């Protein structure tokens, strides 16, 4: 595998699912291997579930679910002698996330006696290094964000750089069979091997985008994985579940999913352009895509993601079924906020913004608030009170002051005290630190691998 033969005519990528730990039907991997897969690639994370996972450097998935998927994938990699590439390990792609997945991998490799060289690529960034880049004018905001200041960088609990395909290619060239990457673009994980083997950039990046969510580009998004075959003229997509199909519409429509702009996508090394791409059915299950272009950028950029603690939250949840209160629920909520604010000032001597309250009327307008098109009184309402403060004790104190109001507050015209329906006891739940995303910026870099640290086991050779 170490010598450099002539480029192959095509490279086949097996994507078993949209996320490591998400599971895939039995037979998915076997079918991909039978079709001649050259690499298995799967995404291990995302910002999709919010800032908590990056901010706290913990995973959204359970170790048991990740281990279940890995047993199958590592076994397939060893049996077929093809690389396994996993990106954005541990959800946020932090160093702790990479080490967490590596620990699970090592356990399985030992247990199954697999001969696999496992590389780790760390993508976590030091705030002080980034402040120097900022001072040198090399960090730029992405819309809708404004310019960055050093304090914002320093306030983050974790910052990751999103790698392109190059650090993964470097790990594979150094002899890795399994690459556990920190934060990477979803597409880089899939594009690394085909690019290494000489496949053209346009079809490679486009295919990578189409298959990054596994079965999402098929007629049944819940189905198992997909196989992308890339060649000099384009690429072909085929579902691994024999009962499922890819159609020109299901494939083309995946460019819409979670993208701001469906026709162009920026990668660290350039921009994928798909407006001229054509989607054609080869048969009932396979789709051929041609005409995708990749325009290399003048400046290689690495996108930064960072999260920080915005405070600590305590939640209380009660519910109202009494039609009289429901008939004027907005007035009741306004009264609660007014009485609560006064009692907190009187008891704790603090006022917003020293703490914040977010009172949500589930069943009325909690989700969409002022943009909700519906009208009319609800049948019942769940009242969620979220108190946010600089420390947990203050947040909980405010929530406890709210407790008698969440239980007994009447509307102004009621002559008696209602008792509302707490959902559980105790009513207050401490949610711990609340995180927020603080970065949406890119750094200009001279080397596509410079911000990332490759670690191979002792004695690993090419």
Partner 1 sequence: MSAEHLPTLGELALEVRSKNAGPFWVTMELFMRDAEGYALVADEEFLDEDVVARLYDLDPADILFFRIPELNVVKVSFPRPVAQGSLRDRDVHAGQHHVPLAALVPGRR
Interface residues with partner 1 (CB under 8 A) are 47-52, 143-145, 249, 252-253, 256-263, 305, 310-311, 356, 358, 360, 366-373, 386, 388, 434-437, 440
Kindly write down the DSSP assignment for every residue of 13-33, as one continuous string.
EEE--SSTTS---TTHHHHHH
Minimum CB separation of residue 149 from partner 1 in Å reads 17
Q: Pairing mode, if any, of strands 226-231 and 118-122?
A: unpaired
**C-alpha–C-alpha distance, residues 22 and 15, integer Å:** 12
List Cα–Cα distances, 176 to 49, 67, 138, 430, in angstroms. 30, 20, 32, 44
Q: Which is nearer to partner 1, 37 or 162 (CB)?
A: 162
Eight-class DSSP state of 163 = B
Minimum CB separation of residue 151 from partner 1 in Å reads 17
Helix, strand, coil share of the chain (percent; to 5): 30, 30, 40
Contact (CB, 8 A) for 344 and 351: yes
Kindly write down the DSSP assignment for every residue of 44-92, as one continuous string.
EE-STT-THHHHHT--SS-HHHHHHHHHHHHHHHHHHT--EEEEEEEET
Minimum CB separation of residue 319 from partner 1 in Å reads 17
Nearest to 22 by CA among 53, 54, 57, 64: 64
Between the two ends of the chain, the Cα-to-Cα distance in Å is 9
Minimum CB separation of residue 261 from partner 1 in Å reads 7
Q: Which is nearer to partner 1, 183 or 360 (CB)?
A: 360
**C-alpha–C-alpha distance, residues 400 and 405, integer Å:** 10
Contact (CB, 8 A) for 16 and 214: yes
The crossing angle, in degrees rounded to 10, of helices 166-173 and 186-196 is 50
Q: Which is nearer to partner 1, 191 or 213 (CB)?
A: 213
Minimum CB separation of residue 358 from partner 1 in Å reads 5
Minimum CB separation of residue 448 from partner 1 in Å reads 21
Q: Which is nearer to partner 1, 45 or 311 (CB)?
A: 311
Minimum CB separation of residue 75 from partner 1 in Å reads 33
């Amino acid at each position: 595998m170490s010598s450099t033969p002539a480029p192959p005519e095509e490279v086949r990528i097996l994507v078993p699912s949209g996320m490591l730990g998400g599971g895939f039907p039995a037979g998915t991997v076997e079918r991909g291997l039978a079709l001649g897969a050259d690499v298995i690639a799967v995404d291990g994370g995302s910002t999709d579930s919010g800032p908590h996972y990056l901010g706290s450097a913990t995973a959204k998935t359970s170790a048991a679910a990740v281990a279940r998927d890995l047993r199958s994938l590592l076994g397939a990699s060893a049996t077929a002698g093809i690389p396994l590439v996993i990106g954005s390990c541990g959800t946020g792609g932090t160093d702790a996330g990479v080490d967490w997945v590596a620990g699970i991998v090592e356990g399985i490799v030992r247990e199954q006696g697999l001969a696999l060289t496992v590389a780790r690529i760390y993508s976590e960034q030091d705030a002080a290094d980034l402040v120097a880049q900022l001072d040198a004018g090399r960090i730029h905001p992405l819309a809708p964000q404004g310019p960055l200041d050093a304090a914002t960088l320093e306030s983050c609990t974790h910052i990751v750089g999103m790698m392109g395909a190059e650090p993964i290619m470097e790990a594979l060239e150094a002899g890795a069979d399994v690459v556990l990457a920190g934060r990477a673009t979803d597409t880089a994980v899939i594009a690394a091997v085909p690019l290494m083997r000489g496949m053209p950039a346009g079809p490679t990046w486009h295919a990578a985008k189409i298959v990054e969510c596994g079965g999402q580009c098929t007629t049944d998004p819940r189905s198992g994985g997909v196989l992308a075959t890339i060649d000099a003229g384009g690429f072909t997509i085929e579902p691994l579940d024999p009962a499922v199909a890819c159609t020109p519409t299901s494939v083309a429509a995946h460019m819409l999913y979670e993208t701001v702009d469906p026709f162009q996508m920026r990668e660290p090394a350039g921009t994928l352009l798909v407006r001229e791409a054509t989607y054609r059915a080869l048969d009932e299950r396979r789709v051929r895509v041609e005409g995708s272009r990749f325009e290399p950028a003048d400046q290689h950029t690495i996108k930064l993601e960072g999260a920080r603690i915005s405070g600590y939250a305590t939640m209380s949840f009660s519910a109202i079924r009494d039609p009289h209160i429901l008939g004027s629920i907005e007035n009741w909520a306004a009264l609660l906020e007014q009485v609560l604010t006064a009692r907190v000032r009187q008891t704790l001597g603090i006022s917003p913004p020293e703490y914040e309250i977010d009172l949500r009327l589930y069943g009325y307008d909690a989700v969409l608030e002022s943009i909700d098109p519906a009208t009319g009184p609800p049948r019942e309402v769940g009242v969620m009170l979220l108190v946010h403060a600089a420390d947990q004790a203050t947040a909980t104190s405010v929530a406890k002051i709210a407790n008698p109001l969440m239980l007994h507050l009447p509307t102004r015209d009621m002559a008696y005290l209602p008792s509302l329906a707490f959902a559980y006891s105790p009513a207050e739940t401490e949610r711990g630190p609340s995180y927020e995303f603080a970065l949406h910026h890119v750094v200009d870099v001279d080397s596509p691998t410079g911000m990332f640290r490759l670690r191979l086991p002792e004695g690993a050779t090419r």
